[in-house]
Amino acid sequence: MASIKVLTDVCTGCESCVSACPFGAIALNDDGVAQIGDTCTLCGSCVEACPFEAIELTKDEEKTVDLSMWQGIWVFCEIANGAMRGVGPELLGQARKLADELHTDVTALILGDAEIKDYAPELIARGADKVLAAVNPGLKELNDIAYTGVVYELVQKYHPEIILMGATGFGRSMAPRVAARLRTGLTADCTILSADTENHLLQQTRPAFGGNLMATIICPKHRPQIATVRPKVFAPLAADETRHGELIVENVNLPKDILIETLKTLNAEGEGVSIADADIIVAVGKGIGSAKNIALAEQLANLLGGAVAVTRPLVDLGWYGYTHQVGQTGKTVAPRLYIACGISGAIQHLAGIAAETVVAVNNDPDAPIFSHAHYAINCDCVDFLQTMVETIKDKGYKAV
C-alpha cells in the first residue's frame, strides 16, 4: 500500500506544504508540525514543496504491463430500449481518426440479445472495422454488473489498447467499474482526444479545477486506456455504406451474483424533445427572475419545436430539472439554434454549448455571453420571450 508520512522531528513548521497541497489536506497541528488529513490523494506535490525533505511518500511497486499485447481501439456503443445512443457513432468517428494516426483498427463493441447483430452494418458505415457483438438474452436490459463482467472478460481475451465510452448515465456508471476491475486508468468527460503517435498513447483532455484549465491526461503504463466522452462533443462521420467490416459474435455467459435487477426503465426527461437531441434550444438563466417565468421559455420552445435548457443555479434553486442543465456538470448540447435568455455566460455553462448559432438576450450590455454569441440582444429577457411568443402566434410563423 502506498503511504505518506511527515517526519515530525525534521518538520520545522514552515507551512510550504500547506499551500502546495491542491486538496487542502495539510494543516499544522498544535505542536506546529505538519499533519496530513484524510483528503490526501498521495499526489506528491507536498514532497516536492518541502524544503527540508520532511515528507516521505512510499509508492506501490508498479506492475509492468506488456504494452505490445494490447492493440486496437474499442468503442462501446450503448443500445437500450431498441435504440442505439447517438454517442456511439460520434465516438466511432473520433476513434477512426485516432486509429488512422496510430495505425490500428476500430472495433464497435455492442452487448445485448441476438437482435443487436442487426446494428453491425450501421456501425461499419460509421467507421468501425469490426463489430464485436456480445450476445446473451440477459444483456437486453442495461445492467452495470452484468455488462462490467462481460466487458472485463472480452478485454482479457482481445486486449484492446484503448476503450472509448459515452458519458451517458449508464456509461458513467459502467466505465469506472470496468477500469477498476482491469486495474487501469480512466479519464471521464474528455472534450478532446488526440494521438501521441511517437509514444503510441491516447491523450485525453478534459476541463480541470472548475473548468479554469484544461488537463491532458495519459495512461502510459497500464492498458487499456479508458476515456468517457459526453454526447454531442464529437460529430459522427457521415455513413459510408460502401465500407466493409467484420462481425464477430461472442455468445457470452453472464457473471454470477448480478445484484441488480432492472424492473422497468423510465425516461427521466419525461415526454417531449430531449435537450441532447433538440435542434432548437431556448435556454434560461437566473435573469429569468422566477420559476413561473420559465413557462414563457416552454411556450417559445413548443412553438419552435425545440426544448428548454437551464443553467445550474436554476437546478440548484429547484426551478427546473437537472436533466435540462447545460454545462460542465450538465449536458453538452449541439442544436442549430441556442437562444440564451438571462444567462451570464460563465465558462462552466459555455462548456456545454456546441451550437451552430447562439442568440444571447441579456439586459447587461457587458454580459460575457455576448462575446460568445452570434447575435446579441440587449433587453429584458422576459419581455423578449413574451414578444417572441405573441409574434409567432399572431403571425403563425413556423420554425424550418
Ligand X SMILES: Cc1cc2nc3c(=O)[nH]c(=O)nc-3n(C[C@H](O)[C@H](O)[C@H](O)COP(=O)(O)OP(=O)(O)OC[C@H]3O[C@@H](n4cnc5c(N)ncnc54)[C@H](O)[C@@H]3O)c2cc1C
Q: How do 246-251 and 73-76 pair as beta strands?
A: unpaired
Residue 249 interacting partner from ligand SF4, ligand X, none (CB closer than 5 to 8 Å by kind): none
Nearer to ligand X, 323 or 328 (CB): 328
Among 42, 67, 347, 377, binds ligand SF4 (CB under 6 A): 42
One of 27, 44, 305, 317 touching ligand SF4 (CB under 6 A): 44
Q: Which residue has the cell 453538452?
A: 332
Integer-rounded Cα Rg, in Å, for the chain is: 25
Q: How far is the CB of 360 from ligand X (least distance, A)?
A: 9
* Rounded alpha-carbon distances, angstroms, from residue 122 to 231, 242, 371: 18, 11, 39
State in angstroms the smallest separation of the CB of 368 from ligand X: 8
Residues 352-391 that bind ligand X (CB under 6 A): 352, 361-364, 367, 380-382
Q: Which residue has the cell 460509421?
A: 126
Asked if 285 is part of the footprint of ligand X (rule: CB under 6 A), the reply reads: yes
Strand duo 73-76 + 162-166: pairing: parallel
Could you tell me which residues come within 8 angstroms of residue 87 by beta carbon, excluding any fewer than 6 positions away?
78, 166, 167, 168, 171, 229, 230, 231, 232
C-alpha to C-alpha distance for 45 and 321, rounded to whole angstroms: 39
Single out the residue of 35, 40, 144, 196 in contact with ligand SF4 (rule: CB under 6 A): 40
Q: Is 391 in the site for ligand SF4 (CB under 6 A)?
A: no
Q: Of the candidates 25, 325, 360, 389, which one interacts with ligand X according to CB under 6 A?
A: 325
Quick one: which of 2, 5, 12, 390 contacts ligand SF4 (CB under 6 A)? Answer: 12
- Whether 46 and 11 have beta carbons less than 8 Å apart is answered as no
Residue written as grid cell 514532497: 47
Q: Which residues bind ligand X (CB under 6 A)?
A: 210, 285-287, 289, 311-313, 325-330, 342-344, 346, 348-349, 352, 361-364, 367, 380-382
Q: Which residues bind ligand SF4 (CB under 6 A)?
A: 4, 6, 11-17, 20-21, 23, 25-26, 34, 36, 40-46, 49-50, 52, 54-55
